[in-house]
Structure 1
Amino acid sequence: MPLAFSDFPNTRVVLDCTEIRIQKSSKLKAQRQTFSAYKHFNTFKALVGVTPDGYICFVPELWGGHVSDTEIVQKSNLLDHLQPGDGVMVDKGFRLDTIFPPTIKVYIPPFKMGSQLSAGDVIATRKIAGARIHVERVIRRIKEFHFLDRPVPITMLDIASKIFRTCAFLCNLQQPIISVKDN
């Protein structure tokens, strides 16, 4: 287990979502389903699960950009792959405490109560951020594939999930994100 996870030894997966731009549909319903209020254009949203060692282990179907991170996790079959005692690390965009059973530990940065975080919450936030940086690096690596650096054409939307998944799992064949000295 990498050093960054020493305070989170039961972490099974680190989750994050990313968005890939798609061509705008001429159909209003499709536009609504794929419009991302965060990105301000039409997107597909991808959930990416990464092991503490930096390997991609979970990539479900893509979703329209309007769907929340929490909803994607809820509709994916991630829970089927977790066992009691496992830990899941996420960022503040995920509200998983309501959808996971109490036997699954959710590591999420503390939320600010009042004007500022307590000293303990600042330390907890730094530790989680230090561990979560690896999933962000993995997602950046996925997006380096040329197909994903421009809007996905309308004609390819039906196979976009397969293409994204292929790009993601090809990253596992590249140089590891976590170096030996990080372990």
Structure 2
Amino acid sequence: MVIDCTEIYTEVPSQLDKQKYTYSSYKHRNTLKGLVGVAPNGTITFLSNLYVGNTSDKNIVKHCGVLTSFLAGDLILADKEFLIQDLLPPGVLLNIPPFLMKAQFSSEEARQTVTIARARIHVERAIRRIKQYKILQLIPQNLRPYSSMIFQFVVF
């Protein structure tokens, strides 16, 4: 499975504590965040509930239930920020791009990065398709309690 998180804009909550939790420092706006998983052919195979925008990718993976989908021998492809090796079930492998430790990648690291990027394009395309639904462009406050249901229903 290829996984990535996406953020959906939400109206700014009226209560300050909710504003703090939904504010995404990455997007510089109030958001809700969900995990998307796709098969290597681009078919969406997993959608998490939506979490408040300041939730880390690792915490979403930990709590959303995606890890119960994997068996020993399965492979997860993800971006660099998914440092989730310690959460994986026994025998499940994680493949993330290498971190740049010197001035430039070695030829093997560059090849590995390109290979992972070719597979990750499928999850990026799936996220782009998801975000085309008008209702997911901005979740109004009155629909926020139903946001996870909307996110999952619109896609599946």
Do they fold alike, i.e. is TM over 0.5? yes
| Equivalent residue in structure 2 for 1:142, among 130, 133, 138 | 130
Q: Find the aligned partners of 2:68 and 2:86 in 1 and give their Cα distance.
A: 16
1:93 paired with 2:81, answer yes
Q: Work out whether 1:59 is the aligned partner of 2:47.
A: yes
- Cα distance in 1 between the residues matched to 2:153 and 2:43: 14
Alignment TM-score, normalising by the size of structure 1:
0.82
Taking the aligned partners of 1:144 and 1:54, their CA distance within structure 2 comes to: 16
Structure 1, gaps ≥5 residues long? 1-12, 170-183
> What CA distance in whole angstroms lies between the structure 1 residues aligned with 2:130 and 2:102?
38
1:1-183 alignment to 2 at 5 Å? 13-149=1-137, 151-169=138-156
2 CA distance for matches of 1:95 and 1:31? 27
Percent identical across equivalent pairs? 43
Deviation at 1:165, TM superposition (A): 0.6
**How far apart in 1 are the matches of 2:99 and 2:90?**
20
Render the CA deviation track for 1:59-82: whole Å, top value 9, x for unaligned. 111001101111100111112111
Distance in 2 (CA, whole Å) between partners of 1:72 and 1:46 is 7
Q: Partner letter of residue 34 of structure 2?
A: A
String of CA shifts for 1:123-148, please: whole Å, max 9, x gaps: 00000001110110011001111112
Tell me how far apart the structure 2 counterparts of residues 23 and 91 of structure 1 sit (CA, whole Å): 28
Q: CA RMSD in A?
A: 1.0
1:74 maps to a residue whose letter is: K
- Asked whether the equivalents of residues 7 and 53 of structure 2 are also in contact (C-alpha less than 8 Å), the reply is yes
1: CA distance, partners of 2:134 / 2:68? 33
Q: How many residues are paired up?
A: 156
Question: The residue matched to 2:37 in structure 1 has which SS?
Answer: strand
List, as ranges, runs of 4+ consecutive aligned residues in structure 1 with deviation greater than 6 Å: none
